[in-house]
Amino acid sequence: MAAERLRRHRHPLDAPFPTAAPADNTVGATTTTVYTFGDDLYAAMLDAIAGARDHVFFETYIWKGDDVGHRFRDALEAAAARGVEVYVVYDAFANLVVPRSFFRLDTRIHVLRFPWVRAGALVSPLRASGRDHRKLLVVDDELGFVGGYNIGSLYARHWRDTHVRLAGPAVWELRNGFVDFWNRWRTPALPVLPDVGSTSWLPQLRAARNSPSDLVFPIRNVYLDAIDRATSHVQITQAYFIPDREILAALLDAAARGVDVRVLVPERSNHVVADWLARGHYGTLLRGGVRIFLYADAMIHAKTATVDGRWSTVGTANIDRLSLTGNYEINLEIVDAGVAATLEEVFAMDLTNARELTRAAWEARPTLHKVGERLVSPLAPFL
């Protein structure tokens, strides 16, 4: 904690960074739009809420009580006032620093405050300790948004993140994820949401949802399957990259068979412990032929990947234990060359703000860093 405070003072993550305009692709009858700048994303989300006619499903991990947070609260309350059914989910633990008064929304809004202490924490910690780390918005089952962006002014302009909007029948994937979570965790005072089923089937665009209460963790398998299929290249962008043994092995195996494996991570993230744990894998990755790129002077929070220009994922899950086997998460899995090309263009853009970590530079890192990595290594099973 002391190191983190000193680091933030000396190296604030506030430098400008490159962004791209929202980019559209068509997958079946659904249009996807990739966002790389918070202001662009928030404008689209607020516009969708303003146009809602029937219902709004809004779920977020962090919801700051700042200017941006108030804009979303006002938009949701305005929608409820005009007769739209509004359902809100937020994580209690992630918002402990936000005044509870901020979350006293219009009484016409149905609010599920995901508890930070739940029954069974002592008996089954894996099932009961996971946070609701998801960030999604569904409007009238016509528009859906999912990705890494939380809600707040910091994320609007100072963090590089990635979100995707769906317009069309595949929005059901996000609606279904919200409904299942709501009905699983609602209190008796909250209404049951109907499970409407899907009238269309789009196997190349699916949502994978982790549910620790049910010990269901498909996102990890989605990554493993895609990496195992790679024959050309793998591009991964992660805010907190702490791969487990199987994912580490899959990346090394891919590199060993000639696949160009590249991982982009923050040079300094907002969590020093996560950084040191991630660095504990750098030596193994570099010796195995995996290329590591460090995003400079700003926080990159995206959770995206592409494989062979055909497969992509965008969502809320980091490649770490918390996300892959602990938290409630949701990632889109998209098999489409157009979406993959868009995300690879974003990856190339991000590399212009990054430097490659060479094996020689890594081995010459300061002794203090090596000590820090060893000291925090016992925390790896928890992060």
- Among 303, 320, 336, 350, the active-site one is 303
- The yes-or-no answer on residue 370 being catalytic is no
- Among 133, 161, 320, 350, the active-site one is 133
- Among 39, 66, 140, 180, the active-site one is 140
- Among 110, 281, 301, 320, the active-site one is 301
Alpha-carbon gap, residue 265 to 275, rounded angstroms:
9
- The yes-or-no answer on residue 141 being catalytic is no
- The yes-or-no answer on residue 140 being catalytic is yes
- Among 55, 66, 308, 370, the active-site one is 308
- The yes-or-no answer on residue 133 being catalytic is yes
- The yes-or-no answer on residue 135 being catalytic is yes
- Among 64, 110, 135, 163, the active-site one is 135
- The yes-or-no answer on residue 39 being catalytic is no
Active site residues per annotation: 133, 135, 140, 301, 303, 308
